[in-house]
Amino acid sequence: MKKLVVIAAASLAALVLMGSSSASADEELKAGGRGTCTALRLDGTVIAVETANAKGRSHDYVACGKALREKIKPLVCGEAKDGTKEYLYKVSDAKPFKREMHCR
């Protein structure tokens, strides 16, 4: 029982530390879940998460993706505004895939 508590505390501490880099702790918890669009760095850390609006028994992932791209542009491009930057994009619980953002 003591080992389980120590492992749980260590996992929670790791989650809090991961969340402080870009995404909030709430975003870390819902990242990659159904009804979400998620942007990740190439190393897998979460940049941001956007929630898709429900559309009947589905979700509006098109609008979700558009809102997410606008939200992450300053985070992905940063100070170096020129060039093309890569990131991972994940819709719902599907496998993430590479995307490019053109920074100006």
DSSP code of residue 53: P
Question: In angstroms, rounded to a whole number, what is the distance separating the alpha carbons of residues 56 and 65?
Answer: 18
- How much is the pLDDT for 91? 94
- How much is the pLDDT for 20? 38
Strands 36-40 and 83-91: antiparallel
**Domain of residue 21, residue span:** 2-103
Q: Which residues of the chain have pLDDT under 70?
A: 1-30, 80
Question: In angstroms, rounded to a whole number, what is the distance separating the alpha carbons of residues 88 and 104?
Answer: 20
- How much is the pLDDT for 78? 84
Q: How many domains, in total, are found in the chain? A: 1
Alpha helices in the chain (DSSP H): 2-19, 25-30, 61-77
pTM for the whole structure: 0.69
